[in-house]
C-alpha cells in the first residue's frame, strides 16, 4: 500500500467538511475521486500532498505520516496559469523542478528534452506560457511534475478549465503516460465520465456528512479493459452500468 488514509477528517470554518475516511492507494493504481462541490475532495488531495494537515487522522506514505510536501509527490494544480512562472520559457519552467532537486546542470537539458517529448511540447520549448493555449499550459505543468520523477501524481481537476476536445486528448495522453511510466495517480474531478474513463478505482464522496451518512459514499473498482477508447469504452455496457451506479452520488441523493 503506497498511500494510506487512516480516519482522515477535515474541519474548516468550524464545520466538518470530511468525516473520518479510510482507504488505501496501491502502487501503480489510478484512483479517481469524484463528488459535488464542497465534499472535500480537493482538501483531501491537498492533505495527502502535505500542504495542510488533516484535522483528525493521518495520511501515511510508505507507512510514514505525511507532514509536508515532498518531491516524491507531484501536484498538478487546476489553475495552470498561476502555477507556471510567466517569465520563464517552457523548457525553463520544467528546469525549475530539476534546479530544485539540485540536478547537475550538465544533465538537465537531456532530461528536459525527454520530458517535453513525452508530453509532445518539444516544438514549443522556447515559448513563454502566455504564448500557449490552455491545454498546452497544462501539459507544461504536467511536464514539470514528471521532471520531478515522482512516485505519486496528485491532480486537482486538471482538465476542468479546458474545452471538451482538449480535455479528451489530454485524458488519453495521461492514460498513456501512466501506463508507460507506472505512475500512481490520484485524480480529483467532478466529471463522472472522466473518472470512470481514467480510473482503476473510483471513490465517490458526499457533501455535508452527517452521522449515518459518512463522506465516503462509495468505492468501486473499474475493471474496464485498457487501453481505453473515447468512443468504444464509453459505449460499453459495463461503463454505463458503473455510471448509473455512481450517478446518484453526485449531489443527487
Binding characters for another protein, 131-160, by CB under 8 A (x = yes): x----------------x------------
Q: Where are the alpha helices (DSSP H) in the chain?
A: 41-49, 80-83, 90-100, 108-119, 134-147, 164-181, 192-198, 232-235, 237-247
CA dist 2 → 18, 124, 226 (Å): 22, 35, 22
Nearer CB in complex with another protein: 93/178: 93
| 13 belongs to the binding site for another protein (CB under 8 A) | yes
Closest approach of another protein to the CB of residue 78, in Å: 10
71 is a contact residue toward another protein (CB under 8 A): yes
Beta-bridge partners for 201: 31, 221
- Choosing from 51, 57, 113, 224, the residue that interacts with another protein (CB under 8 A) is 51
Q: Which of 77, 134, 161, 236 binds another protein (CB under 8 A)?
A: 77
**Binds another protein (CB under 8 A): choice among 8, 31, 74, 174:** 74
Q: Which residue number, 186 or 204, has a Cβ lying nearer to another protein?
A: 186
213: which DSSP letter? B
Region binding another protein by CB under 8 A among candidate stretches 56-64, 76-84, 160-168, 222-230? 76-84
Nearer to another protein, 126 or 225 (CB): 126
Interface stretch with another protein, choices 70-78, 109-117, 195-203, 230-238 (CB under 8 A):
70-78
| Alpha-carbon span 78 to 38, nearest angstrom | 16
User: Distance (Å, rounded) from C-alpha 6 to C-alpha 22?
Assistant: 5
- Whole-number Å distance between alpha carbons of 78 and 156: 6
Smallest distance, Å, CB 91 to another protein?
A: 14
Tell me how far CA of residue 52 lies from CA of 12, 124, 177, 210, in angstroms.
Answer: 12, 35, 28, 23
**Rule CB under 8 A: is residue 99 a binding residue for another protein?**
yes
- Bridge partners (DSSP) of residue 59 are 5
Say how far residue 197 (Cα) sits from the centre of its chain.
14
Rounded Cα distance, 1 and 18, in Å = 22
How many residues in the shown chain lie near another protein by CB under 8 A? Answer: 30
* Cβ proximity to another protein, 149 vs 191, nearer residue: 149
* 73 part of the interface to another protein, by CB under 8 A: yes
- Which residues form the interface with another protein (CB under 8 A)? 12-14, 49, 51, 68-71, 73-75, 77, 79, 82-83, 85-88, 96-97, 99-101, 127-128, 130-131, 148
Amino acid at each position: 500500500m503506497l498511500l494510506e488514509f487512516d480516519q482522515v477528517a477535515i474541519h474548516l470554518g468550524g464545520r466538518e467538511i470530511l468525516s473520518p475516511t479510510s482507504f488505501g492507494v496501491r502502487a501503480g493504481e489510478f484512483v479517481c475521486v469524484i463528488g459535488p462541490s464542497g465534499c472535500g475532495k480537493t482538501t483531501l488531495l491537498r492533505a495527502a500532498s502535505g500542504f495542510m494537515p488533516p484535522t483528525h487522522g493521518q495520511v501515511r506514505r510508505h507507512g510514514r505520516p505525511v507532514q509536508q510536501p515532498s518531491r516524491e509527490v507531484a501536484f498538478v494544480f487546476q489553475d495552470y496559469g498561476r502555477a507556471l512562472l510567466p517569465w520563464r520559457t517552457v523548457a525553463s519552467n520544467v528546469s525549475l523542478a530539476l534546479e530544485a532537486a539540485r540536478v547537475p546542470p550538465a544533465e538537465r537539458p537531456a532530461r528536459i528534452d525527454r520530458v517535453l517529448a513525452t508530453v509532445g511540447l518539444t516544438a514549443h520549448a522556447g515559448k513563454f506560457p502566455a504564448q500557449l493555449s490552455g491545454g498546452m499550459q497544462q501539459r507544461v505543468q504536467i511536464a514539470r511534475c514528471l521532471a520531478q520523477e515522482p512516485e505519486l501524481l496528485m491532480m486537482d481537476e486538471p482538465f476542468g478549465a479546458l474545452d471538451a476536445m482538449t480535455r479528451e486528448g489530454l485524458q488519453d495522453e495521461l492514460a498513456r503516460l501512466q501506463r508507460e511510466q507506472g505512475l500512481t495517480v490520484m485524480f480529483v474531478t467532478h466529471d463522472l465520465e472522466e473518472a470512470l474513463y481514467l480510473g482503476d478505482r473510483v471513490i465517490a464522496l458526499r457533501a455535508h456528512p452527517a452521522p449515518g451518512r459518512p463522506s465516503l459514499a462509495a468505492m468501486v473498482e473499474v475493471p474496464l479493459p485498457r487501453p481505453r477508447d473515447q468512443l468504444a469504452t464509453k459505449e460499453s455496457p459495463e461503463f454505463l452500468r458503473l455510471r448509473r451506479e455512481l450517478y446518484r452520488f453526485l449531489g443527487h441523493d
